[in-house]
Amino acid sequence: MLRGLMRRLLLVLLAAGAAAALWAWLARPPRLETAPAMLGPAVEAVYATGSVEPVHWARVGPALRGRVVAVLAEEGERVAAGQPLARLEDSTARAQREEAEARARFAEEELQRQRLLLERQIAPRAQYERAESEARATRALADAAARRLEDYVIRAPADGVVLRRDVEPGQIADPLDALFWVGEPRPLRVTAEVDEEDIPRVAIGQAALLRADAFPDRVLAAEVAQITPKGDTVRKAYRVRLALPEDTPLLIGMTVEANIVLRRTPDAVLVPPAAVREGHVWVVENGQARRLPVRLGVQGAEAVEIREGLAPGQAVALDPPASLRDGQAVRARRAS
């Protein structure tokens, strides 16, 4: 009996010791991983996407629907203003012009005959005036037919290079089709779209940083040169043109992502994104957690700028628990 009593007393003592150890373990200050606030560059920018195009260029298409019978210029060829680029099938228009020209010549010959009769007082003046009116009308029709014949020739609108040709002989062309792109290969620009929420912060002269899939390891330079005054109500965006330097490696038609620089701070206070919680951070001072309200700046995937409320070198807690209290004792460990 005494042995059983001793056994029960030993079990009670062991349970009490385990409970005390558990309580001591639970009462330990929580461990926080920390990282120091660092100094580094921060860039506040507006994001946009766009494509590269020449500053001087034009789409060229036919004035009327027709079948292309000849292509007279090739890509890369330099052309002069008014130079034929392609011809449409015009046999019907030529026949109509010849008919109109024949009618005009006949009317003009009749007018000459009526003039002689009038001078000899053989025919009345009214008959001469009718012949004169008929001659003017038929000549106008003949001139119009000749001008219509010009619509079957597609010409270069200005001096430049054929940047692209999208037409082949035998193709049916419509007035809305762009058959040629004619312009100067340099200078180039980027035409980008900026969201209407961001456009009030964009101004001419701001620098822009570009990235293109063709040059994945390079950041290319540009500058805001023009902002279209009227936005697109469907896209809810404004067109912004970025001037490119003469030595840009970008080519016509490439797509780019642009960051228009609003502010650049070379020595900003930066912390990891995991340290920021709803406008505040937790710092560890003398073994205690302190909650600091901060004013945020640029927020990126790798760092967040702290514009006010935090000094460089202060240790900020990463992923602080929701139960953390201001002034609570903690154990800090530098994150690897």
Q: How far apart are CA 178 and CA 202, in angstroms?
A: 32
C-alpha distances (whole Å) from 15 to each of 11, 12, 290 are: 6, 5, 37
Q: Which residue has the higher pLDDT, 60 or 316?
A: 60
**Given pLDDT bands bounded at 50, 70 and 90, which one contains residue 90?**
very high
Q: How far apart are CA 39 and CA 266, in angstroms?
A: 8
Lowest mean pLDDT among 7-11, 91-95, 270-274: 7-11
Q: Which residue has the higher pLDDT, 91 or 334?
A: 91
Q: Other CB atoms closer than 10 Å to residue 178's CB: what's the count?
A: 13
C-alpha distances (whole Å) from 79 to each of 184, 187, 255 are: 11, 18, 27
Q: How far apart are CA 150 and CA 135, in angstroms?
A: 23
Over residues 198-223, the mean pLDDT reads 94
pLDDT-above-90 percentage for the chain = 51
107-125 confidence digits (pLDDT tens): 888 888 888 887 788 778 8
Domain 45-56+183-266 is classified in which CATH homologous superfamily?
Answer: Efflux pump adaptor protein, beta barrel domain (2.40.30.170)
Instruction: With beta carbons less than 8 A apart as the criterion, state whether 260 and 202 touch.
Output: yes
Three-class secondary structure assignment of the chain = CHHHHHHHHHHHHHHHHHHHHHHHHHCCCCEEEEEECEEEEEEEEEEEEEEEEECCEEEECCCCCEEEEEECCCCCCEECCCCEEEEECCHHHHHHHHHHHHHHHHHHHHHHHHHHHHHCCCCCHHHHHHHHHHHHHHHHHHHHHHHHHHCCEEECCCCEEEEEECCCCCCEECCCCCCEEEECCCCEEEEEEEECCCHHHCCCCCEEEEEECCEEEEEEEEEEEEECCCCECCCCEEEEEEECCCCCCCCCCCEEEEEEEEEEEEEEEEECHHHCECCEEEEEECCEEEEEECEEEEECCCCEEEEECCCCCCEEEECCCCCCCCCCECEEEECC
Alpha-carbon Rg of the chain, whole angstroms?
Answer: 41
In the prediction, which pLDDT does 23 show? 42
CATH topology for 91-150 is Helix Hairpins (1.10.287)
In the prediction, which pLDDT does 20 show? 42
Query: pTM above 0.95?
Result: no
In this chain, the answer to whether the domains covering 57-84+152-182 and 91-150 adopt an identical fold is: no
C-alpha distances (whole Å) from 6 to each of 1, 13, 100, 230, 248 are: 9, 11, 133, 93, 91
Phi, psi of 50 (to 5 degrees): -165, -170
Give Cα 35 distance to the centre of its chain. Answer: 38
The whole-chain average pLDDT of the chain stands at 87
Q: Which of 55, 38, 40, 52 is nearest to 208 (CA)?
A: 52
pLDDT at 255 over 60: yes
In the prediction, which pLDDT does 315 show? 87
Over residues 273-292, the mean pLDDT reads 87
In the prediction, which pLDDT does 330 show? 85
CATH topology for 57-84+152-182 is OB fold (Dihydrolipoamide Acetyltransferase, E2P) (2.40.50)
CA dihedral 60, 61, 62, 66 (to 10 degrees): 140
194-209 confidence digits (pLDDT tens): 999 999 999 999 999 9
Phi, psi of 150 (to 5 degrees): -65, -25
pLDDT at 288 over 90: no
pLDDT at 258 over 50: yes
Lowest mean pLDDT among 111-120, 210-219, 275-284: 111-120
Q: Which residue has the higher pLDDT, 11 or 217?
A: 217
Domain residue ranges of the chain, discontinuous segments joined by + = 45-56+183-266, 57-84+152-182, 91-150
